[in-house]
Structure 1
Amino acid sequence: MTVQNLPPAVASGIRLAVLDMNGTTVIDGGAAERAIGDALREFGVAGERLEAALVTSRRSAGLDRAEVFDRLFPDDAATARAAFRSFGAAYDAMILSGCIRAVPGAEAAVHMLRDHGVKVCLATGFGRHTQNSVLEALGWMGLADLSLCSEDAGRGRPFPDMVLTAVLALDIEDVRQVLVAGDTTADITSALRAGAGAAVGVLTGAQPAHELRAAGATAVVRSVADLPALLWGREAVAAV
Structure 2
Amino acid sequence: MNSIATTEAQALSLAGAPNADISPLQAVIFDWAGTLVDFGSLAPTQIFVEAFATFGITITLAQARGPMGLSKWDHIHQLLQEESIASQWQTAFGYAPGHDDVDAIYARFMPMQIAKVAEFSDPIAGAPELLVWLRANGLKVGSCSGYPREVLNQLLPQAAAAGVQPDYVVAGDELDAGGRPGPYMALANVLALAVSDVRACVKVDDTVPGISEGLNAGMWTVGLSLSGNEVGYSVQEYAQAAPAEVEARVAAAEAKLKQAGAHHVVRSVADLPVVLAQIAADMRSGKTPV
Q: What TM-score bracket applies, with the shorter chain setting the length?
A: 0.7 to 0.9
How much identity, in percent, do the aligned residues show?
A: 30
1:219-230 map, 5 Å: 219-230=264-275
Q: Which residue of 2 aligns with 1:57?
A: 64
Q: What SS does the corresponding residue of 2:170 show, helix, strand or coil?
A: strand
Q: What residue identity is the alignment partner of 1:63?
A: L
Deviation at 1:132, TM superposition (A): 1.9
Render the CA deviation track for 1:108-133: whole Å, top value 9, x for unaligned: 11121122111111211010011121
SS of match in other structure, 2:144: strand
- 2:15 aligned residue: none
Residue in structure 1 matched with residue 203 of structure 2 by the alignment: 180
| Pairs aligned (count) | 219
Partner residue, 1:133: 154
Q: CA deviation at 1:35?
A: 0.8
1:211 and 2:218 matched: no
Q: Which structure's residues are more often strand, by fraction? A: 1
Q: Deviations over 1:119-167 (max 9, x none)?
A: 1112110100111211112235982110111222331111111111111
Give the counterpart of 2:57 among 35, 45, 56. 45
Secondary structure (helix, strand or coil) at the match of 1:57 reads: helix
Gap regions ≥5 residues in structure 1: 4-9, 234-240
Say if 2:47 is the partner of 1:26.
Answer: no
* Aligned-partner Cα distance in 2 for 1:64–1:85: 14
Task: Give the deviation of 1:99 after TM superposition.
Answer: 3.2
Following superposition of structure 1 onto structure 2, how do residues 1-240 of structure 1 map, counting pairs within 5 Å? 11-27=22-38, 30-46=42-58, 50-51=59-60, 55-73=62-80, 75-96=97-118, 98-139=119-160, 143-153=165-175, 154-196=177-219, 198-203=220-225, 204-207=227-230, 208-232=253-277
The one-letter code sitting in structure 1 at the alignment partner of 2:47 is: A
Whole-Å separation in 1 of the counterparts to 2:125 and 2:259: 26
How far apart are the structure 1 equivalents of 2:195 and 2:178? 20
TM-score normalised by the chain length of structure 2: 0.69
Deviation at 1:18, TM superposition (A): 0.7
Q: Distance in 1 between the 2:143 and 2:153 partners?
A: 11
Q: TM-score, normalised by structure 1?
A: 0.83
User: Would you say the 8 A contact 1:121–1:144 is kept in 2?
Assistant: yes
1:76 to partner: Cα distance: 2.1
